Structure 1
Amino acid sequence: MTDLLNPIFQDSAKAREHLESIRWAEGRFCPHCGETENTSPVRGKSHRPGLYYCNGCKKQFTVTIGTIFERSKIPLNKWLLAFHLMASSKKGISAHQLHRMLGITYKSAWFMAHRIREAMRNDSPDPIGGKGKIVEADETFYGNSGDEFINDKGWRKKRGLGDKSKIVTFVERDGAARSTVVDRLHSGTIGALINRQVHPDSFLMTDEAGHYRQPGKKLRGHYAVNHAKNEYAKGFITTNTVEGFFSIFKRGMNGVYQHCGEQHVHRYLSEFDFRYTYRKVSDRERADLALKGAEGKRLVYHQTSLKSA
């Protein structure tokens, strides 16, 4: 259980100290030039706490420089509480709820949530899977017809869904999730995603969709279940894990967020991927991992209208 009365959620100075302990766990450094040895606190009543001076580049800095917090007017304790709420809410938390709980405007809460999703975004070049490991793959669709999510069978049965956002997700059993919005679903697209996101020594589990057949040959093994014939598991061959991920994702998008513009889908996917990947750690640890991910990332308001940033 997390104590919401923890000083880091109530006091901006305590929040800053906590952020410093995460970002500078191995020692303070200048975010302008990278200097690690020759930095010092700026002292004096006219200077705010947490201000430092670098004798290397002769610039001042704080722990928020070079992070998503840079130039934000919202107190850090409210930022840390928002990080905790988003990291611990399995199906997400709406901007309206953040607006009410944090006492900030809805516009600020909406932008704050997107910046937290940016911190949660995975930018590791390491693929998932590996020797002897199983990776499941599947796709779902997002569109404007009531902003509903449907599976591949629904897409075939229902008309007018060709313009929906197509989402491909890889989930390592007992491991990480990686989701991507793609323009088209075909073997070339799937092959490129597998090359980038899945270790070649992995075993791939999919349904009967044809766009997985050729790319699957690049991996150690490819096995499929035929959902069209009501086949959902053949021993260890199943896609139940990735379908479980989609279940959480759809419930969050339909029940919590309710509406999501096409240009924002990839940001929400980052949020759900992050929470799923770190589902086995505590809420506090998950929030701290998200805070660590805030380093080296910036998101300004005009970028939130872009499909990728």
Structure 2
Amino acid sequence: MPSILDKPYFRDEAAAYAKLESIVWPNGPVCVHCGETNRIGLLKGTATRPGVYKCYRCRKQFRVTVGTVFEASHIALRHWLQAVFLMVSSKKGVSSNQIHRTMGITLKSAWFMTHRIREAMKQPGWPTGGKLGGSGMVVEADETFVGGKAANRAYGPIPLKQAVFALVERNGGVRSFHVPDVTAANLVPIIARHAHVDSRFMTDEANTYSRTGRWFRDQQTVNHAAKEYVRDDAYTNTLEGYFSILKRGIYGIYQHVSEAHLNRYLAEFDIRHTNRIKTGSDDMARMDRALAGIVDKRLTYRGTDRNRATAPHA
């Protein structure tokens, strides 16, 4: 069986652009300057870079990477696609150090490269997926904390833990959020926005969820404090499994995730879980899903504090 990395778009630059164009422009090329779709031609001169089009309406040139996380990158697009595939196919993630060694690029470039890809994996507003759950479906809610342990600290202050709240549809997608505190004021608006009221809602015994009981068709709780974890089909074990993979990835692969970038790492774990093989998606389908999110998400080294690269952690 041939290696997946032997596919043409992982080895040839023109094939890589054709692959990306098939995802970003499913109905054919679109001028990024004026929106023209008809009077466009692919430039084929020997001195022309791969994937360059010319619009004969506004007379400007463009490529599919304009306005995406790949814009103005000196890294070959085929290497970008290899990195995307490695990230979506590695269950617990792949570190920037590994990308640095595998691709033969600097660690700084690898770190910024992986953060660009994670930005593409974000699902702002989940416009295509709607709310999780629905009639006859089950949605679980739970929270966890990620960060160092005081017992592992030889000296210095106790490291702060970051709170992560998540919703998962059984046999479906997951959406996780970095929240400042696990309080009803922070969690209830997220639940209202992302969980369908016709769902059966499963939580633990935390008082945080007491206000949501009247919203859903049915809400069941399990009392973890009393060592009750399953009662018929009432449990939050699906989320517990997701949190287990999340923590193993953060502690075992990345080792340290800063608070400023935690949401990007959560987006990476979300897309892998939501598009896992169990739901009918394979590694290539996950790659296509990640590439579909690259538009209008360009990041630069300079700019706002939210987007500025600070130091390569992992």
* Fold shared by both chains (TM-score > 0.5): yes
More divergent stretch after superposition (73-82 vs 23-32): 23-32
Q: Which whole-Å CA distance do the structure 1 matches of 2:307 and 2:260 have between them?
A: 4
The 8 Å contact of residues 146 and 247 in structure 2, kept in 1 or not, is answered as no
Task: Trace 1:141-220 onto structure 2 (pairs within 5 A).
Answer: 141-145=145-149, 163-220=160-217
User: How big is the shift at 1:146?
Assistant: 6.7
The 8 Å contact of residues 201 and 218 in structure 2, kept in 1 or not, is answered as yes
Q: Secondary structure at the match of 2:241?
A: helix
Q: Which whole-Å CA distance do the structure 1 matches of 2:8 and 2:304 have between them?
A: 31
Change (3 A) 1:47 1:129: same
Q: Which runs of 5+ in 1 are unaligned?
A: 149-158
Change (3 A) 1:14 1:146: farther
Q: Which whole-Å CA distance do the structure 1 matches of 2:201 and 2:192 have between them?
A: 12
Deviations 1:220-270, CA, capped at 9 Å, x for gaps = 221100000000000010000000000110111111111111111111000
Which of 255, 260, 263 aligns to 1:263? It is 260
User: How big is the shift at 1:57?
Assistant: 3.3
The alignment's C-alpha RMSD in Å is: 2.3
Task: Trace 1:5-20 onto structure 2 (pairs within 5 A).
Answer: 5-20=6-21
Percent identity for Structure 1 against Structure 2? 48
**1:129 and 2:133 correspond:** yes
Deviations 1:102-144, CA, capped at 9 Å, x for gaps = 1111111111111111111112232111111111010011235
Return the letter of the residue paired with 2:56: N
Residue aligning to 2:111 = 110
The 8 Å contact of residues 176 and 277 in structure 1, kept in 2 or not, is answered as yes
Residue aligning to 2:275 = 278
Q: Which runs of 5+ in 2 are unaligned?
A: 309-314
Q: Which whole-Å CA distance do the structure 1 matches of 2:57 and 2:296 have between them?
A: 20
Return the letter of the residue paired with 1:287: M
What TM-score, normalized by structure 2, do the two folds share?
0.88
Deviations 1:136-156, CA, capped at 9 Å, x for gaps = 0100112354799xxxxxxxx
Q: Which whole-Å CA distance do the structure 2 matches of 1:210 and 1:160 have between them?
A: 27
Deviations 1:73-125, CA, capped at 9 Å, x for gaps = 00011001001100100000010100111111111111111111111111223
**1:254 and 2:239 correspond:** no
Q: Which whole-Å CA distance do the structure 2 matches of 1:4 and 1:225 have between them?
A: 45
More divergent stretch after superposition (256-265 vs 49-58): 49-58
What TM-score, normalized by structure 1, do the two folds share?
0.90
**1:100 and 2:101 correspond:** yes
Q: Provide the aligned length of Structure 1 versus Structure 2.
A: 298
**1:72 and 2:90 correspond:** no
Residue aligning to 2:233 = 236
Change (3 A) 1:106 1:215: same
Q: Which whole-Å CA distance do the structure 2 matches of 1:218 and 1:265 have between them?
A: 30
Deviations 1:185-216, CA, capped at 9 Å, x for gaps = 22222210012111121111010010011023
Q: Which runs of at least 4 in structure 1 moved beyond 6 Å after TM superposition? A: none
The 8 Å contact of residues 7 and 14 in structure 1, kept in 2 or not, is answered as yes
Change (3 A) 1:272 1:263: same
Change (3 A) 1:303 1:204: farther
Return the letter of the residue paired with 2:233: F
Q: Secondary structure at the match of 1:271?
A: helix
Return the letter of the residue paired with 2:290: A
Q: Which whole-Å CA distance do the structure 2 matches of 1:227 and 1:307 have between them?
A: 39
